[in-house]
Amino acid sequence: MPINQLHHLTSGQLLRQKDDIKPSSAYQQGTFSCVRSIESFSTMSFTGKYELQRQENFEPFMKALGLPEDQIQKGKDLKSVSEIVQDGKKFMITINAGSKVIKNQFTLGEESEIEMLNGEKAKVVVQMEGNNKLVTEVKGMKSVMELNGDTITYTVTMGDLTMKRVSKRI
């Protein structure tokens, strides 16, 4: 493949190329050959609707965030539905939890204001790790949303306390 050949990216596909210059068999005569390797991978699309299946440590985590007990009790058994719309690096996440609706928009790598689970607003920068994890840190918490097939696992860690929420695509 010629070194100057152009490659076009399509529908979220990323192309990573490495050129390695290696001496040819005629090394002694001062000639070199170029070997090109291509590794192709695509970013998973988070777009879809997901229903909460189970959660771990919801009550202690929400208490640590300062939510009132009545709100914690209402929220602990709700089967919330999250809708994610991804357009390249732009995301819109809408969480419907009973009468409460949280809408957050962000662009990967750019500062955005989001509403947290306790209703507070915070400025964050969301990063993509690998091709299936959204990661951010805010107010002493690390948040990871990981997509595996039709399952999203949302893990939030604050100090020694970790809450995990697992949702399935519907």
Greater confidence (68 vs 2) lies with 68
CA distance 80 to 63: 19
Q: Is residue 31 pLDDT above 50, yes or no?
A: no
* Residue range 138-163: mean pLDDT, rounded: 95
Task: Identify the pLDDT of residue 43.
Answer: 61
SS (H, E, C) the chain: CCCCCCCCCCCCEEEEEEEEEEECCCHHHCCEEEEEEEEEEECCCCCEEEEEEEEECHHHHHHHHCCCHHHHHHHHCCCCEEEEEEECCEEEEEEEECCEEEEEEEECCCEEEEECCCCCEEEEECEEECCCEEEEEECCEEEEEEEECCEEEEEEEECCEEEEEEEEEC
pLDDT digits (tens, 9 = 90+) for 124-139: 999 999 999 999 999 8
pTM of the model: 0.71
pLDDT digits (tens, 9 = 90+) for 75-121: 888 889 999 999 999 999 999 987 889 999 999 999 999 998 778 89
pLDDT digits (tens, 9 = 90+) for 50-62: 999 999 999 999 9
- Percent of the chain surpassing pLDDT 90: 58
| Per-residue tokens: 69 | 């007990």
pLDDT bracket for residue 25 (50, 70, 90): very low
pLDDT bracket for residue 159 (50, 70, 90): very high
Q: Is residue 10 pLDDT above 70, yes or no?
A: no
Task: Identify the pLDDT of residue 98.
Answer: 79
Task: Identify the pLDDT of residue 148.
Answer: 96
CA distance 138 to 64: 15
Kindly list the structural domains of the chain, giving each domain's residue range(s) and its CATH number in brackets, ordered by start: 13-42 (no CATH), 48-169 (2.40.128.20)
Q: Is residue 32 pLDDT above 70, yes or no?
A: no
Task: Identify the pLDDT of residue 100.
Answer: 84
